[in-house]
Amino acid sequence: MSASTSRRQRLRQATLEEIHAAARKLLVEQGSAAVTINAVARQVGMSGPALYHYYADHDELVGAVTADFFRELAAAMEQARDARAGAPVGERILAVCRAMRAWAIAHPAEFGWIFASPIAAPNRQPDAARHQAALRFEQVLLDLTAELWQTHPFPVPDLAELPASLREQLTTYFAAIDGQLPPQAAHVFLSCWIRLYGLLCMEVLHQLDFAYADLEPVFEECLRDLAVALGIDDDAAA
Amino acid sequence: MSASTSRRQRLRQATLEEIHAAARKLLVEQGSAAVTINAVARQVGMSGPALYHYYADHDELVGAVTADFFRELAAAMEQARDARAGAPVGERILAVCRAMRAWAIAHPAEFGWIFASPIAAPNRQPDAARHQAALRFEQVLLDLTAELWQTHPFPVPDLAELPASLREQLTTYFAAIDGQLPPQAAHVFLSCWIRLYGLLCMEVLHQLDFAYADLEPVFEECLRDLAVALGIDDDAAA
DNA sequence: TAGATTATTTAGAGGCAATAAGGAAGCATA
DNA sequence: TATGCTTCCTTATTGCCTCTAAATAATCTA
């Protein structure tokens, strides 16, 4: 090879980016059903089957684009976090949550795609890239919560009072996150995650249109609840 | 016509039911992508285009089947409610919530379909049947909450302290539900609804698999939170 | 019984996923 | 520098899909 990245590799990389951009454009402008192998290829200026040199099948293309979205979302959250590098951890947590919703609102098609695409494949394999990107996304708030836990521990339930099955699952999760949070604290974190992510999920999936046109105040109220649960509702914001 | 329902109408009705059953079978056994006009027709024993005498297009078939699912889910909830006709309203509310999850767990494909199908059509029209059925579904818990509100009022926030935009939206919703609940109480109801439905949404969409394998204890904890919010956490269950 | 309505069929246009086979261009090495 | 390998892309081709059109059979109505 002529350099660390050969000319071929650079061209290929550029084509991949062009493919992703085309897929995204189709998604945003015409909905998820419009993101077909043929349509993407047309958009890029190639003829259908050429795309199979870049992805094994339609699912793999979808997975790659989804990974992009996860990465972009995670990056937006990380940026919100780093922009407040010196601030109290509670403040950074709230900023990251708002950044998460801001990205979802600014990119509803992409955020919806994140939920919609797994439906097509309930028997999905790990799908390295996508799964990796999803983990990074989940990790942002987990990291901050772990930091909060270590510097300003929040109230947690007594492990002995939780149902046995829940205790087991939390212990498994405790191991899965390399002990970043003890099971009781992980339970609080997951409860917050469920409320936060669940609300955004419903908003983007238009499950609340029957009552709300603008969920911003509902989201802010949710954040206040989470702040209470995490003990970051005082002025110092922990 | 020979009777209030002619022979033709009865046959047509039977065919419609057969079509729905075929669509559901395909959904459950092979996933939502398998529910195509052609596959359903094959299943019923008709050749493709015949289905267009029953539904204008694929979307309409999907909508009709979705309406079925909503009706079945609502019926399950209503049955749980009516089975405890004399019980305190708080107890009935919790029973209905559990019936809702029980149906979702017993019919994951159908429950997921309820969320997944709207994604395909973000610009969806009212779609009479489907919308009607969704309303009936939402109405079950709204009715019970209204009954609770009238017999054992639960704590509500001060309307003056809510953000103006939220206040406006709640007033609009107050009118939409024919004044069944005043805006402040509607706000509490909607908060509960979001947590309940959001949790089920995430469970069925496998958004929590990374942490939980069995969400039953998480759901029960959610119910306890709702019971506190609705003031039905005492022994008498309101 | 004749005409209208309804149910269903085959034929076909157009699109999509995926495979196969072949050509053109870049790249490496003898 | 000429030969061969790899990569990229193209044009068929298959099979399934949606949906329309036209024709046929069955059923009801007057």
**What tokens appear for B171 in the block?**
């007033």
pLDDT along chain A (238 residues), means of 10: 64 95 97 95 95 95 96 98 96 98 96 74 64 94 98 96 96 97 98 96 89 97 97 77
CATH topology classification for A66-229: Tetracycline Repressor; domain 2 (1.10.357)
The answer to whether some atom of strand C lies closer than 7 Å to the beta carbon of A52 is: yes
Q: Å from A21 to nearest chain B CA?
A: 21
> What are the start-end ranges of the H helices in chain A?
7-30, 37-44, 58-82, 89-106, 108-120, 128-151, 164-176, 183-204, 216-229
C-beta of residue A150 within 8 angstroms of C-beta of residue B63: no
Q: What residues of A are in contact with residue B163 (Cβ under 8 Å)?
A: 217, 220
pLDDT of residue B3: 41
Q: Does B194 sit within 8 Å of A218, measured CB to CB?
A: yes
pLDDT of residue A206: 87
The answer to whether some atom of strand C lies closer than 7 Å to the beta carbon of B25 is: no
The answer to whether some atom of strand C lies closer than 7 Å to the beta carbon of B124 is: no
Residue type at B64?
A
CA dihedral A5, A7, A9, A11 (to 10 degrees): 140
3-state secondary structure of B163: coil
Over the stretch B99-127, which tens digit does the pLDDT of each residue have? Answer: 999 999 999 999 999 987 654 444 455 57
pLDDT of residue A129: 85
- Through-space separation of residue B28 CA and nucleotide C5 C1' in angstroms: 36
C-beta of residue B155 within 8 angstroms of C-beta of residue B129: no
Q: Does B216 sit within 8 Å of A173, measured CB to CB?
A: no
Q: CB of A126 within 8 Å of any CB in chain B?
A: no
pLDDT of residue A2: 38
**Rounded-to-integer distance, Cα B137 and Cα B129, Å:** 12
Half-sphere exposure of B147 (CA within 13 A, CB side): 17
Q: Angle at the Cα of A141 (from B114 to A84), degrees rounded to 5?
A: 130
Over the stretch B142-159, which tens digit does the pLDDT of each residue have? Answer: 999 999 999 999 999 999
Among candidate residues B184, B163, B199, the one with its CA nearest the CA of residue B229: B184
Residue type at A10?
R
Which residues of chain B fall short of a pLDDT of 70?
1-5, 117-126, 235-238
C-beta of residue A177 within 8 angstroms of C-beta of residue A169: no
pLDDT of residue B119: 47
pLDDT of residue B48: 85
Handedness of CA A196, A200, A201, A206 (dihedral sign): positive
Q: Å from B4 to nearest chain A CA?
A: 36
C-alpha distances out from residue B49 to A176, A219, B11, B58, Å = 52, 47, 18, 11
Query: Which residues interact with strand D by a CB < 7 Å criterion?
Result: A 8, 11-12, 15, 41, 45-50, 53; B 1-2, 6-8, 36-39, 48-49, 52, 56-59
pLDDT of residue B107: 97
- Identify the architecture of domain B59-229 in CATH: Orthogonal Bundle (1.10)
pLDDT of residue A116: 74
**What tokens appear for B45 in the block?**
């024993």
- Through-space separation of residue A237 CA and nucleotide C4 C1' in angstroms: 78
Per DSSP, the residues of B128-150 read HHHHHHHHHHHHHHHHHHHHHHH
Class of domain B1-54: mainly alpha
Task: Give the residue from A35, A145, A212 with the most B CB atoms within 10 Å of its CB, the best one to mutate.
Answer: A212
> How many other CB atoms are there within 10 angstroms of residue B171's CB atom?
14
pLDDT of residue A205: 84
**What tokens appear for A119 in the block?**
């439906």
Angle between helices B58-82 and B7-30 (to 10 degrees): 90
Q: CB of B45 within 8 Å of any CB in chain A?
A: no
> Residue B122 is nearest to which of A31, A163, A197, comparing CB atoms?
A31
End-to-end CA distance of chain B: 53
pLDDT of residue A124: 53
This model of the complex carries an ipTM of 0.89
Q: Where are the domains of chain A?
A: 1-54, 66-229
